[in-house]
Amino acid sequence: MRILFFTHYYPPEVNAPASRTSEHCRAWAQSGAQVTVVTCAPNHPNGKVYPGYRNKLWQSESRDGVRIVRLWTWLAANEGFLPRVLNYVSYLVAAILALPFLPKADVVVTTSPQFFCGLVGLFARPIKRAPWVLEIRDIWPESIVAVGAMRKGVAIRCLEWLEAFAYRQADAIVSLTRGFIPHIAARCGDASKIAVFMNGADLSAFSKSGDGDEVKRKLGLEGKFVAAYVGTHGMAHGLGTILDAAELLKHEPRFAFLMAGGGAEETRLRGERDTRKLDNVVMLGQRPKAEMPGLWSATDASLILLKRSDTFKTVYPSKMSEAMAMQCPVILGVEGEAKDVLEAAGAGIAITPESAPELAAAMRRLADDPALAASYGRAGRAYADQNLDRAKVAARFLALLNKVAAREPIGETAAAR
């Protein structure tokens, strides 16, 4: 099996798309597949190339048995609409131009975000003469309207047409949540080619360790109940809620907030924190993936937050799987499918999105009842073991790719997975 995978993000970048794709590709390579990943020079989220790399027309390396081809793109930080669009479109153009020089494939996979990366499949399918699997991580362009980055208009209608055209042309569509199914099916006209593989976690890497107290000490959080947000600081996440909750709890020294990650909102949030003199909020910025298990071990409650929007009721944040794998109780400010998973797992407390009073109250509840917090953690890990093991998800994904490469019917709709 020869797999050609197009993704805008890949390690050493540490965001959710990079982690999901790399862990799947590594598992596929270990299963005997020949995997080639086509991506950019690592630069997320600041638009600066990581040490040891250059933004060249073409560079190649191997990692975990996977061949990685990195193409030149217009670099841009994860902020500002036009620079990011130029970054996205430049990847699309570079990938199309590279297609004749890439190895033969039995199946082509493209993933979004970002949207233009997903569209590479429209060109790769005929040029490589291979069936195309389109992975949908976010409903786009609907999600950019939901966060206020663009308004409904001619441009959005054109993008929606492209979205529907891509769904129809793809041989199979992989969705990260069941909540996406009605939207995708309505636009592609064939629900039978949709499969769902939820975001999981590498359970061998994300496991509870005993170094949480030491990490707290190094961060100046010793003896505190720490609620942590680990992930992209983007427009969709409503992270101002953390600062508002910190304001409510600033006279209760037993509580602290930890924020790790970068993104379009990081600078604004850091400035607002300093202006409001919220000493109970520690912001670490982007951290290497190797540090993540340690940060999780220092976390007493994981904050999984999004803005309150109907669009986000279909979303399942990847960091929720990691929190459950780390036996960390979750405070979830997301409605819809994510809330359903939380309740099925019994892994934490759901609050109204963007409600700082409810967030503060949930923290008090967990801090006052350590037995309850521990029970949430155990239940979350049990659910992750059963449903969210990345290795098992990767194996089911590979089985789908084999069927698509053989041009066989998927045989199982998304709703059944």
What would the pLDDT profile of 188-237 be if each residue is shown by its tens digit? 888 999 999 988 888 887 766 667 888 999 999 999 999 999 988 988 89
Average pLDDT for 120-147: 85
Gap between the Cα atoms of 214 and 193, Å rounded: 49
The mean predicted confidence, pLDDT, of the chain is: 91
Q: Residue 85 pLDDT > 80, yes or no?
A: yes
User: Pairing between strand 66-71 and 58-63?
Assistant: antiparallel
Gap between the Cα atoms of 117 and 256, Å rounded: 39
Helices and strands, counts by H and E, the chain = 16, 14
Give residues with Cβ within 8 angstroms of 141, minimum separation 6.
Answer: 115, 150, 156, 159, 160, 163
Residue 272 carries which side chain, given as an amino acid letter? E
- pLDDT classification of 416: cutoffs 50, 70, 90: very low
Question: Can you list the domains of the chain with their CATH numbers?
Answer: 2-200+389-416 (3.40.50.2000), 212-387 (3.40.50.2000)
What is the predicted pLDDT for the residue at 27?
A: 96
